[in-house]
Amino acid sequence: MSDLKHFRPDTAFGGKNEKRDLTSSAKKAQDPDAKLSAKDKKRIQLAADLGEAETGWDKFKILCSENKLAAASAVIILVIALMAIFAPVVAPYDPTKQDLLHRLEGMSAAHIFGTDQLGRDVFSRMIYGARVSLVIGLLPTFLSLALGTVLGLISGYLGKAADFVIMRLADITMAFPSLLLAMVVMYTLGAGIVNIFLALTFVSWAGTARVIRSQTLSLREMEYIEAARSMGVSKWRIMFQHILPNCLPNLIVLFTLNIPGSILSESSLSFLGIGAQPPMTSWGLMVSDGKQYLFTDPVVAIAPGVAILILALAFNFLGDGVRDVLDPYLNKQ
Amino acid sequence: MSEANTLEIRHLRTVFHTRKGDLAAVNDVSLTVPKGKIVGIVGESGCGKSMTAMSVMQLVRKPGEIESGQILFRGEDLLQKTPGEMQKIRGDRISMIFQEPMTSLNPVYTVGHQVEEALRIHEHLSKEELHRRAVEIFEAVGIPEAEERLKSYPHQLSGGLRQRVMIGMAMICKPDLLIADEPTTALDVTIEAQILALMKKLRDENGTSILLITHNMGVVAKMCDFVYVMYAGRVMEQAEVFELFRNVQHPYTAGLLQSIPRIDHVVDRLYTIPGVVPNLLHLPAGCGFCTRCRYAQDRCYEELPELREIAPGHFIRCFSTNQELSGKEESHA
């Protein structure tokens, strides 16, 4: 106090010290969070950000900035989808036009992935083949999801005989290797694109039904379902309007994760000759056709094979990304 | 049967069939809810109060089953109704609010949607009319900014607001009977007081009869016109509320009242009734309370006392009255 000239109000009352204390105690307060790994924290933060996002577009932007791999996958899927939709515009050649003078030409400027055994442009055929692969990826997945969801809801909510019958059917379909079962269905119904839908739906509904059933079993014990019943809501309405929306996160994840399986199954079936039939083409069929020339002209088989790989991976990564977002506490170990 | 009683339960017996034998969660319960009155059911956890309510709604789950008795609602026996008829009554003529406002609302819908649904199920109204009624009921239950709040999701509201929403849902069809299963147990005392006042106000405005289930004697004193004290599935004491508090005659009720903390008495330790509710599978042959009753005599273990009237409208299920018993103890001492 002797020299008031150097009096500084901020230090005189311990202002700075107090501030330091505050920050250190704030750090201590965060300590419980320290147990969480950095990855978990990021997930939780992401979920919080998403909750605050106003519009769907905002959410989408947050997602893309967070999970680059999923964003890239989405772009790849979009590009492939656009190419498939606008195939007549994008494809440089008619995919069915044969040119026997230029068979198995290998990669060149005129034919990016060369020509196949009948002189058809491989790249153009891949673009048209993407149509089949995408439709097969999406439609049977959608159908099997719808079928599995309805059966799972009935099984879980009504229980008793319905539950027993549906779950035993699910056990039976799951007891067979799915490709084998799909082949049995295809041989019975005959080859063709519609029958592929049916076969793949038939093979893959059981997994969905089981997931939705277990979800329904836990949801139907929730108080808000009890409350709905006390309000006089009918059981079908409870199943489809009260329980189903609560299963949506699971369904979205199942959807994205089932698509690559469908694409691969279609490729396998086509490769075995019971899927898409010429002149229609699919990537699986192209790999099958090209396999005879694998040692002399590998591009014919490898190009569509890599395309299958990329598309399946893209859907997988997208599915993972979606799952991470919908369930930030999932991988908490 | 006069229209003066909204609900009259006669000798209701609800049994759970378990592997170890049948247990009667509700055993020979008769109770009356007069029109426009609030009737309380009090008792410890597991005494059958919620099961009585669920029996009225006929929402008892397997392995539970209403074995015998009558549930007369405005003179008609609900137990004779088909499930379809019951569904029409639930939520429209009889509605229910639950203990946990946190979990009694469906998280995926806005509260407005849920309140409107309660109405939509039972009445065919236009969208505008539904909305108008929802706003109206929100205002009636004291939710500020009703228009805005209708668009909220349950997680955006506090517990007190959610319970108001639940009450709004229950009251929107102007039911004759409201069953409130521990409506304030999950709320803090200030909110509890508000919610109770709200229920009373709605009763006064609409003439709704209320069956209030609680374990809180304070709530009973504040709210009810008549009280039924239940223990191990049976009614132990029933009386008009002032009579009960002025003239407690069953040792069990006396124990319940004694265990209420009092602000004007300094005690080291709160009184508790010794022991726990007996396993309903192994009830003593006589009075269910004999194992914990400090006045129990040999006779109590062997013989079930009947409900007997000791004062006008005041019934107890005990061989002696508390007055006689405590008098005896004093003379022994």
Q: What does the DSSP assignment read for B289-317?
A: TTTT-TT--HHHHH-PPPPEEEETTEEE-
Q: Which among A234, A242, A248 has the least Cβ separation from residue B87?
A: A234
Using alpha carbons only, give the angle B271, B275, B280 rounded to the nearest 5 degrees. Answer: 135
Taking every pair of Cα atoms in chain A, the longest distance, rounded to a whole number of angstroms, is 106
> Tokens standing for B277?
């509710």
B104 contacts in chain A (CB < 8 Å):
223-224, 226-227
How much is the pTM? 0.74
Instruction: Tell me the nearest-neighbour CA distance from A226 into chain B, angstroms.
Output: 8
> Tokens standing for B203?
């009763």
Average pLDDT over residues B259-264: 78
Rounded CA separation B139/B137 (Å): 5
pLDDT tens digits, residue range B10-51?
999 999 988 888 888 898 899 999 998 999 999 888 788 888
Instruction: Tell me the nearest-neighbour CA distance from B57 into chain A, angstroms.
Output: 7
Rounded CA separation A206/A239 (Å): 19
User: Can you give the pLDDT at residue A18?
Assistant: 45
Using 70 as the pLDDT threshold, list the residues of chain A that sit under it. 1-37, 39-40, 42-44, 46-47, 50-56, 59, 63, 100, 102-104, 106, 109-111, 326-333
Per-residue confidence band for B145, with pLDDT thresholds at 50, 70 and 90: confident
- For A217, the 3-state DSSP assignment is helix
As for the ipTM of the complex, it is: 0.77
Residue B184 contacts residue B198 (beta carbons within 8 Å): no
Where b means 16+ CB within 10 Å and e means fewer, A279-313 reads ebbbbbbbbbbbeebeeebebbbebbbebbeebbe
User: Can you give the pLDDT at residue A153?
Assistant: 93
Residue A324 contacts residue A143 (beta carbons within 8 Å): no
Instruction: Tell me the nearest-neighbour CA distance from B219 into chain A, angstroms.
Output: 23
Q: Which among A222, A227, A232 has the least Cβ separation from residue B87?
A: A232
**Secondary-structure percent of chain B, ordered helix, strand, coil, rounded to 5:** 35, 25, 40
**Positive or negative, the Cα torsion across B182, B186, B190, B191?**
negative
Q: Which among B59, B100, B107 has the least Cβ separation from residue A230?
A: B59
Q: How many CB atoms lie within 10 A of CB B62?
A: 9
User: Can you give the pLDDT at residue A319?
Assistant: 81
The structural domains of chain B, with segments of one domain joined by +, span 5-93+173-332
Per-residue confidence band for B261, with pLDDT thresholds at 50, 70 and 90: confident
Using alpha carbons only, give the angle B17, B20, B26 rounded to the nearest 5 degrees. Answer: 40
DSSP annotation of A240 = I
> Tokens standing for B220?
């009973």
Q: Could you tell me how many residues make up chain A?
A: 333
> What DSSP assignment string belongs to B248-267?
--SHHHHHHHHTS--TT---
Sorted by sequence, the CB contacts under 8 Å of residue B108 that are 6+ apart come out as A245, A246, A248
Dihedral angle computed from the Cα positions of residues B61, B63, B69 and B74, in that order, rounded to the nearest 10 degrees: 10
DSSP annotation of A94 = -
Residue B229 contacts residue B42 (beta carbons within 8 Å): yes
pLDDT > 60? residue B135 = yes
> Tokens standing for B320?
């002696």
DSSP annotation of A35 = T
- Give the strand pairing for B21-34 and B76-77: unpaired
By C-alpha distance, the chain A residue nearest B172 is A231
A223 contacts in chain B (CB < 8 Å):
98-100, 103-104
CA–CA distances in Å: residue A52 to residues B84, B89, B167, B279: 43, 40, 29, 49
Residue A301 contacts residue A151 (beta carbons within 8 Å): no
Q: How many CB atoms lie within 10 A of CB B222?
A: 16
> Tokens standing for A302?
């490898």
Rounded CA separation B25/B193 (Å): 30
Among the four given CATH numbers 1.10.150.530, 3.40.50.300, 3.30.1330.200, 3.30.200.20, the one describing domain B5-93+173-332: 3.40.50.300
Amino acid at site B213? I
How many CB pairs below 8 Å do chains A and B form together? 59
Residue B13 contacts residue B26 (beta carbons within 8 Å): yes
pLDDT > 50? residue B5 = yes
The continuous run of DSSP H or E covering B22 comes out as strand B21-34
Rounded CA separation B57/B90 (Å): 7
Q: Are the Cβ atoms of B109 and A245 closer than 8 angstroms?
A: yes
Average pLDDT over residues B141-152: 87
pLDDT > 50? residue B306 = yes
User: Can you give the pLDDT at residue B40?
Assistant: 93
Average pLDDT over residues B144-163: 87
Q: Which among B90, B100, B109 has the least Cβ separation from residue A232?
A: B90
Phi, psi of B94 (to 5 degrees): -120, 125
Distance of CA A154 to the CA centre of its chain: 25
By C-alpha distance, the chain A residue nearest B123 is A232
Listed residue (B217, B225, B184) closest to B35, CA to CA: B225
Where b means 16+ CB within 10 Å and e means fewer, A57-89 reads eebeebbeebbeebbebbebbeebeebbeebee
pLDDT > 80? residue B141 = yes
Q: Are the Cβ atoms of A230 and B90 closer than 8 angstroms?
A: yes
Amino acid at site B283? L
> Tokens standing for B13?
């017996």
User: Can you give the pLDDT at residue A280?
Assistant: 76
- Give the strand pairing for B226-231 and B38-42: parallel
Among all chains, which residue has been given the structure tokens 């839908």? A197
- Helix H segments across A86-121? 87-90
- Homologous superfamily, domain A56-93+113-326: MetI-like (1.10.3720.10)
Q: Which among A223, A234, A248 has the least Cβ separation from residue B100?
A: A223
Q: Are the Cβ atoms of B118 and A229 closer than 8 angstroms?
A: no
Amino acid at site A67? N
Residue B109 contacts residue A245 (beta carbons within 8 Å): yes
User: Can you give the pLDDT at residue A1?
Assistant: 44
> Tokens standing for A71?
């964003």
Q: Average pLDDT, whole number, for chain B?
A: 86
